[in-house]
Amino acid sequence: MNLNYMKAFVTTVMSLVASMLGVLYIPVLLMVACNVIDYVTGIWAAGYRQDGGVSSYCSMCGIIKKVTMWLLVFVGAIIDQLLAYAAQTIGYQLPFTFLVACVVAIWIICNELISILENMVDIGIELPAFLLPLVRKLKTTVDKMGGTDQEE
């Protein structure tokens, strides 16, 4: 296949996705990238862990977990649409779109970043001392934004 046709196809698909997602485009793109990186580093780290190696069952559970994360963002988008509809029904225009979905996506990104860093530690990569606490603090901040005080 010609490289120019491939570029045109990828550009078309990404533009279509961006136009459909709007403000959710960047958080969803980052979330999917973190999902893929977490999955790959999780497979690599499995060989270094005490419980030993990769299994097809654990791999499938990981994929199902990632797909359900995407569904959480979709649920957040549904909640956003319900809020917008309710507000419009009473004559109020909300100053935001997809706020709940964006917060959910950012929360998932934070969880994925923590998991990626933990996988890297299991592989034997030395992390800068500030990195994991920084991401955990970011997750705590997002938890507070969402009105939850969850601990890992």
32-50 core/surface letters (b: 16 or more CB in 10 A; e: else): bebbeebbebbeebbeeee
Backbone angles phi, psi at 151, to 5 degrees: -105, 155
Task: Judge contact between 80 and 97, C-beta under 8 A.
Answer: yes
Q: What is the pLDDT of residue 146?
A: 65
The full set of domain ranges for the chain reads 24-47+54-145
Model pTM?
A: 0.82
Q: What is the rounded distance in angstroms from the CA atom of residue 90 to the CA atom of residue 87? A: 5
Q: What is the rounded distance in angstroms from the CA atom of residue 39 to the CA atom of residue 57? A: 14
* pLDDT tens for each residue of the chain, 152 residues long: 689 999 999 999 999 989 988 899 999 999 999 999 999 999 999 888 877 677 788 888 889 999 999 999 999 999 999 999 999 999 999 888 899 999 999 999 999 999 999 999 999 999 898 998 898 888 888 888 766 555 44
